[in-house]
Amino acid sequence: MPSPTYLFPAGAAGLAAALLLASPAAPCSVLEIGADGAVLVRAADRVRAAATGATAAMPAAWRPQLERIAARHALSPALVEALVWQESRWNTGALSPKGAIGLAQLMPDTARELGVDPHDPLDNLEGGARYLRQQMDRFGDLPSALAAYNAGPARVAAAGGVPDIAETRDYVNAVLGRITASAAAPGTTPTHSTHSTHPATSINPQKGILHVP
């Protein structure tokens, strides 16, 4: 059975920004995002970060907690950071119209199932990472796990992958785009996890193709 390939529209939020990271002189760079969110540049050409919100910094005070929680759940800090950025822009008091709470935008019932207090920022971050790890373990690839975080695991299971929901596809693009942008930012050395058993996601910045082997 051939490996699934995810094609996202060039104008979709997040990935479109990531596509702009490739300079005209370096059109062939391919970025491989490991299942834990770590990034490896798989070509000799350089990729530069554009001046975009995709690379705006997270609050520095959260870095130690982020790294500790990400490591606890075998996730890349860049992945957890990108998810939280997309969910709340690191606003600890964020509250969605649907009732999602805090940094990782946990619904009260989900937080209860995870055993965390959604109103406590550190607990909220822990809950978001724990829930993402659960989706990774269930679906086995990063795009599907992110889609499950956004749209719910039932929709991903029914679709057999990222569902054809514009909001969800844009969400996956945005998170992966931020990971890519952060990895390509000046002074950042992209990394790749060697211990993950899940498939990696490759991004060709020229074509906007995400491929899960």
By the 8 A CB rule, do 162 and 118 touch?
Answer: no
By the 8 A CB rule, do 192 and 38 touch?
Answer: yes
What dihedral do alpha carbons 197, 203, 204, 206 form, nearest 10°? 180
Q: How far is CA 7 from the centre of its chain?
A: 17
Question: At 204, which helix (H) or strand (E)?
Answer: strand 201-204
Catalytic residues: 87
What dihedral do alpha carbons 179, 34, 209, 55 form, nearest 10°? 10
Amino acid at position 116, single letter: V
By the 8 A CB rule, do 66 and 80 touch?
Answer: yes
Amino acid at position 169, single letter: R
